[in-house]
Every structure is written in C-alpha cells, then in structure tokens.
Amino acid sequence: MSSDVSSIAAASYGLMTSEAETDFVHHIALFAALLCACIVIGHLLEESRWINESITALAIGLGTGIVILLTSGGKSSHVLEFKQEFFFIYLLPPIIFNAGFQVKKKQFFQNFTTISSFGAIGTLISFAVISFGATRLFPKLGIGYLDTKDYLALGAIFSATDSVCTLQVLNQEETPLLYSLVFGEGVVNDATSVVLFNAITKFDLSDMNTVIAIKFAGNFLSLFVFSTFLGVLVGLLCSFTIRTLYFGRNSTDREVSLMILMAYLSYVLAEVFGLSGILTVFFCGIVMSHYAWHNVTINSQVTTKHAFATMSFISEIFIFMYVGMDALDVEKWKFVNDSPRKSFGASAVLLGLMMVGRACSVFPISLISNLTTKSNANKIEFKQQVTVWWSGLMRGAVSVALAYKKFTGSDEQTMQPANALLITSTIIVVLFSTVVFGLLTKPIIKFLLPRSSHTQPSSPNSIMMPLMGNRQVVEETGEDETLTTTTSNLHMLFNNPTNTIHYYWRKFDDAFMRPLFGGRGFVSYVTGTREVALV
C-alpha cells in the first residue's frame, strides 16, 4: 500500500521511473550526487572563466547518460525522467524570479528604453526571422509536415537567449552600460519569449489572416499587461504586509517564508488566471526587491538574497544536466534514426536563423539608439554592439523548457516523429550554442573589449545633471519664470525621455509609494526607526 502511495505521490510531482521504489530512491541519491559534482567541478574551473556551471552540467549529464546507456544495454540514458510540467512549475519560476529580484534597478531603468528595445522589439524581430526562415527552409530538408503554430512556436522558443557566459566575462564596474544592456535585455527577452509562446499555444492560428493577426497581437499585449499588473500587485501586497505587521520583531523566519511563498504565489495565480506566470514572477521580483526587501531585518535581507540566488542556481544546473542526459534519449532518436540528416540539418538551419535574426535586431536598434542619444557616454560602440549580438547566441533553460512543453506531449500522447525531430534539434542547438559559443565567449570578448579600452563608469550624478541643473534654476528665478521652466522641462523630456521619466518616477516614488509600501531609508510603522538596508 505504501509503495502505491509513494508511486502516486512521485507521479503527481512529475517524477517517473520504471524501477521499483528502492531503485527510485537510489536514482534520487545519484542525481543529487551529480548536482554536487557540478557545483564542485564548476568551482574548480571558476578562475579560468572559460567553462561555467552550464557547460559543466551539460558535460556531466552527457557522461552520465553514456554510462547509463551502456550499462542498461542501450535501453535508457536517464537517471530519472520528468514530465514537462515539472520544468515550468518547479524549475523556471526560481530562475526568472531571481533575475527580477537581483536586477540592478538603477542601471536597468536609466537605460530602460534601450533595454526594452533590445529585449522586447528585438525578440519580436528575431521571432519573425526564425519563424519565416523555418517555413521556407524546412520543406527543402524534407520537413514539410509542420503547421503554422509549430513554426511560430519554434520562433518563440529560439528567440529566448541565455547570456550567462557573456555576463561572467564582462566586468560590471568597467563596462556598466554594456553590462546593464546584456543583463537587462536577457531578462526582458526571456519574459517576452514566454509571453509570445503562451499566446501562440493558446490561440487558433490554423487559418491565418489579417483579422486573426490583429487578434493575436491583442492577445499578446493583453497577456503582457495583465501579467505585469498581477506581478506588481502581489509584490506590493507582500511589501505592505511586511511593512505593516513587521514580522521581524518576533521571527525573521516568518518574513523570509512570506516573501518566498508570495513570490511563488504570484506565479501560480498567473497560471490559474491563464496569464504568463514567468512575466508575473519577474515583475514580482523587481517590486519585492524595491520595497519588501528593505522592510525586513538585515538578517532576512541576507537570507532572502542568497536563498533566491541558490534556488535559481540549482534549478539552472538541474535543467542543463537533464538536457545532457536527454541528448542520448533512445526513444527520441528512434524516430529520427532513418533520417538523422533531417535533425542535424534542422539544427543547422535554426542556428543560422538565430544568428541572422539576432543581427537584424541588435544592429538596427543600436543605430536608432545612438541617433536618439545625445550623450556620447551612453552611445553603443560597434564593438559593444557585436558583444550584445554574441551574448544572445546561446540558448539555455528557457528554450529547453518551452520545447519540452510544446513538443513532448502529455502522458496520454505518444511521441510523434515531428515532435521527436524538433526536440532532438532543440537539444543539439542548446548543446552546440552552450558549449561551442560558450567556450569562444571569453577570447572574443577579450578581443573586442581589451581592458585598456573599457569604458570607465560615469559619475552617479551624471545622468541626473540636466535635471538637477534645471531644478536649481527654478529655485533661483521663482514663480515668474513658470513658462520658461515648463518649456525647459518639455525640452528635457524630448531630449532625454528615459532620464526625465526616471527622475519624475523617483519623485512620485518618494512622495507616495515608499511611505506606504516601504523601501530604503523610510521609517517603520512598528519600530518608529529608520531602516538602513544593505546596499
């Protein structure tokens, strides 16, 4: 009886194994040991900065898969098998939430226009290039049995970038603008790709025409807006609750638990309402780091910061190690055994389209950004543009999870040849881009951005100088110069829209939001003291 209950419980959590319960426990132990090996080996290789944990996890997964494949007589390459829901319910939320929680908000919002252009508009351009290119090139490889939704899903899946390798090489202090662009674009790109994917899977695109295209665009925008709103709402609710009740006076465990649970609650609520949980949890992370994190005690700040980073780290190496094992999955390769050329051909086509789509988005957007930017310090040099282009060529956890969700199918469905082909192609692309492009990242970045030519960090006040100067003029001239001041403000708004909006947002935030929801330097309702947060 207990064995049946354990099996049902295991199945309900997305864990499946054909072995007995004792073997299942042994497999869990082996998988945990492999994760520990990834961490240890990654630490030993850290100083070289050539191989990160993602490459280490892929290599260990491949090696383990080969051993299991040989010892099982070619029957399986997995220690454990997981349902596709497992990736989206348990593994992706910590990765995306931590991206929002750890984002450098000052750099992110000061460069918001450029970052959002790269992350949102650039993703849409890449999506269009990959989808259109696949519809034209796949039939030439004999892959003509995919429908419109499959091609669009491929565009969304391979538009999701993974810039971890590039961020490990870049120095935030030496290249603050470039680092913020690469990091900010990465998180916005992930959110946009997932929203695109959700809109595609939930929309009937069998008979595409202008009306359906407009409805699809409306569905995409509504998903984006409502998902963002829900994430902000849950983040503000958590911040208000912690600020008002001040759990830390009795137990730091409660406030830490509340932050973790409400972060996950935002994701689950979005899924319940049919929204994008990934986008919701991302903005929830930004809001919590801006308000809630400053309302907890110093000990809780340290705990939550490292807890979220740890959960994200484990989830990511878990996914990459599983992909390494799944690359040798016998069942999937049986379907493409007769024509492996198709799988490798599709992978090559997708890699080429990724590079072309990336170029079509990065360089034109950079050109427009430079033309609209007055300050030379904030303009993106050509070598920096190439760095941004290269940083988006790797594919990682988000692409893998989206591909499994779309093409693996449910338990009642058997693996179809077309789905098997696309899964194997996705695995090949992820393996090649992560390992090959990842290993080339350090020498390429060092060649493009030698230390002597790194951009020095600008003064913290430099971005606000036009606004601060204008404010001083207003104070000196008085009310008689109201018209001049208004004209000057409008002039600044058109010349530096992002900086001006950021300035007025800070004024609104300090006057209305922080007194209600808390934040750095604001007085606690309960203790009556001014909280001093970690920087």
- pLDDT at residue 133, rounded to an integer: 93
Q: Please check the confidence at residue 218 and state whether its pLDDT lies above 80.
A: yes
DSSP one-letter string for 329-393:
-HHHHHHTSS-HHHHHHHHHHHHHHHHHHHHHHHHHHHHHHHHH---GGGS--HHHHHHHHHHTS
So where are the chain's domains?
83-452, 484-535
Q: Please check the confidence at residue 351 and state whether its pLDDT lies above 50.
A: yes
pLDDT tens, residue by residue, 68-112? 888 877 666 666 666 767 777 888 889 889 888 887 777 777 777
In this prediction, residues 344-364 reach a mean pLDDT of 92
Contact yes or no for 359/139 (Cβ under 8 A): no
Q: Can you name the residues that pair with 16 across neighbouring β-strands?
A: 81
Q: Please check the confidence at residue 334 and state whether its pLDDT lies above 80.
A: no
Q: Please check the confidence at residue 487 and state whether its pLDDT lies above 70.
A: no
- pLDDT at residue 470, rounded to an integer: 36
- Note the CATH architecture for domain 83-452: Up-down Bundle (1.20)
0.95 exceeded by the pTM? no
Q: State the CB neighbour count (10 A cutoff) for residue 470.
A: 17
- pLDDT at residue 245, rounded to an integer: 84
What average pLDDT does the structure give for the chain?
A: 76
Q: Please check the confidence at residue 309 and state whether its pLDDT lies above 70.
A: yes
Reduced to 3 states (helix: H, G, I; strand: E, B; else coil), residue 77 is: coil
Contact yes or no for 162/437 (Cβ under 8 A): no
Q: Please check the confidence at residue 152 and state whether its pLDDT lies above 70.
A: yes
- pLDDT at residue 180, rounded to an integer: 80
- pLDDT at residue 335, rounded to an integer: 65
Q: Please check the confidence at residue 462 and state whether its pLDDT lies above 60.
A: no
- pLDDT at residue 339, rounded to an integer: 65
Q: Please check the confidence at residue 514 and state whether its pLDDT lies above 70.
A: yes
In this prediction, residues 282-302 reach a mean pLDDT of 89
CA distances, 222 to each of 26, 51, 226, 228, 275 (Å): 46, 40, 6, 10, 9
Query: Of 8-12, 261-265, 523-527, where does the model show the most confidence?
Result: 261-265
Least confident range of 8-17, 287-296, 316-325: 8-17
pLDDT tens, residue by residue, 123-145? 999 999 999 999 999 888 887 67
- pLDDT at residue 477, rounded to an integer: 36
